[in-house]
Structure 1
Amino acid sequence: MTRIVCLANSWKHGERCIAGIDTFKKQWIRPISDLEKGKISKAMRQINGIEPALLEVLDIPLAVTPSEEDWERENRVLLAGKWKRLGQVSVDFLKPFCENEGYILHNDQRYVTMEYLQSLPLEERQTLQLVEAVDFRVRSTGKRFEGVEKWSGTVITVGGQEMTGMITDPVLNRRLSLGDSPPSRCLVTFSLSWPWVPGGWKEDGNPCWKLIAGVIPCSA
């Protein structure tokens, strides 16, 4: 079993992407299945019918090492077995794991190309990052295909970095759609999407977009 603190339970192609940090090894972990693009189904992830929540400590049956052929260094293949919920950590416990200096995921753009990631050694292909935000602003960008409102967020970190990304945290999306205000100070998990080329794309390469996959208010 691999033990992580859950820092993302986000939308992924009709299912979810689960990710978190192994706090003992100080490593990001993203369970992947044999489904399309590694997404994690409800039957796989729910524990006694309940979704994994941010800040929860989870035991998940996973392969020990990443595949050398995988472009996301954090990926671990999901093995047979039941997930376990062991408790919860505090926001203060997680702050030492924030990376607030330098770029958010490789550069100051909203995407990183797959070609660039593949040019890096496996240990440098970072696709997940936790930051502490001192300002967080949101705006509605229309409707998802399920009819759920879509939101974009802009984060400014304690280190002065600014980044905008689509919000794929379903809990936060629901709260924003109900009229709640976003937390101004929070911990934010950024994750890279699978490559997606929008219409009219004129740049080189296949862009992987920076997503806001999990948001934890600092008052939590």
Structure 2
Amino acid sequence: MPAIEILCLANSRKHGGRCIGGLRMDGGGWVRLVSSEPDGTLYPRHYLLDDGSEPQPLDRIAVPIAHPCPKPHQPENVLLLPQPWRLRERPLRRSAAPLLRNHLHRERNLFGDAADRIPYERLVAQPPTDSLALVIPDSARVRIRLTSADRRQTRLVFTLAGAVYDLAVTDPAAEARWADLAPGEHPLRVPLGQKLLLTISLGEPFEVDGCCYKLVASILSTPAGWWI
């Protein structure tokens, strides 16, 4: 298959590397870019752009792909070819706003329900049609917690059409912005005239409980003046 152009909407942490996904610029929907590594994780040798930078959310990039390689819990996966990625546009022009608007998820359920995880066995029996979603939450706040292993975890608590979600954040840029926040909940403020835009992703099965967790893979604000 030739290279495809995508609007990058997530460059998130995954097993010491990254998970990168976005919307095809030709209207073909979501893709999650995966490598030939056993779990599909991307490393710098896979994803660095031709200018030496990393893909950022709202970049338009050209990516060489081999073929689709869907999994029961991630139907959008496509396998990369070992060739350079190219940056086509940064910052993105307003003409891309309809692409975002047309792919907004507006319903309360994410990937079939309003829970924070889905048993992998259920996904095998009833594969979802999507494992990536773009949402504008009704409200949101940051929650910093310490795990049982005393490790810091950044989470986002948000509402979507009446459903309340409390999901782990895997967006490294957001984690860096909030690195100095104390444990507890904190308001999330968005500049006037902009909206909060989240990319939600369904992760790999967790070995402890066999569930795939819903993750906040990207947190950004819509560019000023865009109608989405």
Q: Same fold (TM over 0.5)?
A: yes
Aligned to 1:62: 65
Alignment match, 2:13: 11
Long gaps (5+) in structure 1: none
Task: Verify: 1:53 aligned to 2:59, yes or no.
Answer: no
Q: Quick one: distance in 2 between partners of 1:160 and 1:89?
A: 32
Deviation at 1:103, TM superposition (A): 0.6
Q: Call closer, same or farther: CA 1:118–1:167 in 2, change over 3 Å.
A: same
- Whether 1:211 and 2:215 are equivalent positions in the alignment is yes
Give the root-mean-square deviation of aligned CA atoms.
Answer: 2.5
Q: How does 1:1-220 map to 2 (within 5 A)?
A: 1-47=3-49, 48-67=51-70, 71-87=73-89, 88-90=92-94, 92-93=97-98, 94-120=100-126, 124-142=128-146, 149-157=152-160, 159-178=161-180, 182-184=188-190, 185-198=195-208, 206-219=210-223
Q: Output the TM-score relative to the length of structure 1.
A: 0.84
TM superposition score normalised by structure 2: 0.81
Task: Tell me the CA shift for residue 164 of structure 1.
Answer: 1.5
SS at match of 1:49: coil
Runs of 4 or more consecutive aligned structure 1 residues displaced over 6 Å after TM superposition: none
For residues 84 and 35 of structure 2, what CA distance do their matches in structure 1 show? 14
In structure 2, runs of 5+ residues without a counterpart are none
Percent identity between matched residues is 26
Paired positions, count: 208
Cα distance change on mapping 1:46 and 1:40 into 2, 3 Å: same
C-alpha displacement at 1:127, in angstroms?
Answer: 1.2
What's the secondary structure of 1:136's corresponding residue?
A: strand
Provide the secondary structure at the position in 2 that maps to 1:171. helix
Structure 2 CA distance for partners of 1:138 and 1:18, relative to 1, 3 Å: same
